[in-house]
Amino acid sequence: MILVIDVGNTNMTMGVYEGEKLRTTFRLTTKTPRTSDEYGIIITQLLKNSGIEPKELSGSIVASVVPAVMHALQGALVRYTDTRPLIVGPGMKTGIRITTEDPRAIGADRIVDAVAAYEKYGGPVLVLDFGTATTYDLINGEGCFTAGITAPGIRISSEALWTQTAKLPDIEIKKPGTILAKETITSMQAGLMYGQIGQTEYIIRKVREESGLQDMKVAATGGLGRLIADETDAIDIYDPYLTMDGLRILYDKNAR
């Protein structure tokens, strides 16, 4: 079994694979400062709660966009799971070729999603990840990562509304019954949700137009991705475990 960890700006998502089967997943907040011992104790307890002993792990892999947590997290994995984690980054075998102007600037999470989407669904494929930021990454039929678009995530947009204004409240992110809102909360929900749906459909349409890849698949992932995927025909696939699968695929490519 292997432990896979995706360190995002908001949450740290972990999963355990036995072969190609995802046995369990759990999630921590990223922004809480922790020592290596704190990470180790938490990870050990979460594994045991899922019926997995740390000694059963044969390896681990981490993709991170938050460098500040890596020293403590790596130390915890070495000490508490007796694995030396693979770190997603330059030099790792991925099976895709990054042809953007600065390949090293592409975040580890986006590489992982691109690998998973290309391996699972083939190319050309446009990968959408609805996380802290909403990202759109294009992988062509030859497995080249050719372009990426980055937009504010739904939650960031929501937080901007209630933190930067005097009277607007913090709200639940969901689609209201109608876009014709008649009070504050549903008006904010309508703007956030219909705005994100419109942005998604327009960007997908422009990517098809400018790339000429009219036959590309569109695969989405991320915590809030299902909310959008359920509301538009522009998204072909919603895969909640795309990033987890990508980490497993990368581990298999590089562990030897």
Instruction: Give the residue numbers spanning the domain of 146.
Output: 97-110+122-243
- Give the pLDDT score at 105: 87
- Give the pLDDT score at 223: 84
- Give the pLDDT score at 104: 86
- Give the pLDDT score at 90: 86
- Give the pLDDT score at 91: 86
Q: Are residues 173 and 238 both part of a single domain?
A: yes
Position 179 in a domain: yes
Q: Given its phi and psi angles, is residue 91 left (phi above 0), alpha (psi -120 to 50 degrees) or beta?
A: left
Q: What is the mean pLDDT of each run of 10 residues along the chain (256 residues)?
A: 96 96 96 95 96 96 96 97 95 93 91 97 97 96 96 93 91 93 95 96 98 97 93 97 98 91
* Total domain count, the chain: 2
DSSP 107: -
CATH number at residue 171: 3.30.420.40
- Give the pLDDT score at 107: 92
Q: Is 233 a catalytic residue?
A: no
**The model's pTM:** 0.93
Q: What whole-number distance in Å separates Cα of residue 235 and Cα of residue 132?
A: 19
Q: What whole-number distance in Å separates Cα of residue 103 and Cα of residue 157?
A: 28
Residue of 6, 109, 113, 137 marked active site: 109
Q: Are residues 233 and 106 both part of a single domain?
A: yes
Q: Are residues 16 and 81 both part of a single domain?
A: yes
